[in-house]
Structure 1
Amino acid sequence: MTQSLTYAPPAHTANPELDARRREVRPVVAVLVAVGSVLAAEDAAINDMTAHLPPSPATSPCALCSSETWPCARFQDAAARITARGLRADDVVPAELHPILWPSPTPRPTPAQERYEAAWPKP
């Protein structure tokens, strides 16, 4: 059985707009893992990554690092730590945020398209 938990960090500024944004926190799920496992060893990094996730893909500033856009430096540091241990950062990040972190490469033209564009250049 899993239980969704909602946590909102306390407001830390006199700026009402920033305080409201800090209360917008993505719901999280608690998971139990065995002590001694790689996941247990990297629990702090996973928690850091999760804490710094934006509440929605449209949210640009980090909810915790008010001066940084997302992905912030603390999120990137935590992602690097779990990746160094052989874990996948994309398994911790919701799928809706993957295009922001890992944008699709620009598709390369096929040889047929290249020949067509060479024969019929755009004005």
Structure 2
Amino acid sequence: MKNIRLLYINLILGTILMACEYNVENEDVKVDDQCEAEVSYSNTLSPLINVNCMPCHNGDGSYPLAPDLRTYGAVESLAGLIKEVTQSRRMPKNGNLTNAEISAIKCWVDQGAMNN
């Protein structure tokens, strides 16, 4: 009887602890949600992609699961995913985007991912 009670207590505590999981991975990431000016693909996004993404996303097949981001069409078709992975800082792998650059990507996507 004592063992069963102990088992139930452990199950209940384990369930409570699992339900209270706290994701601290992105705790200190502060991305500006305000988009004051229109973000340009050619002046802002394309240079960011060329510097930060081309080592893996250059279409040469070295990274088979990395989509080719050399054209506007490819970037535009993945705009939502690009916003998500940069805001969560899963990409770029070297993690060297500034908060302002991450905000610019978010704004460009939120503004319709225009070819401007």
Task: Give me the TM-score of the superposition, normalised by structure 1.
Answer: 0.21
- Which of the two has greater helix per residue? 2
With a CA cutoff of 8 Å and minimum separation of 6, indicate the structure with the bigger relative contact order: 2
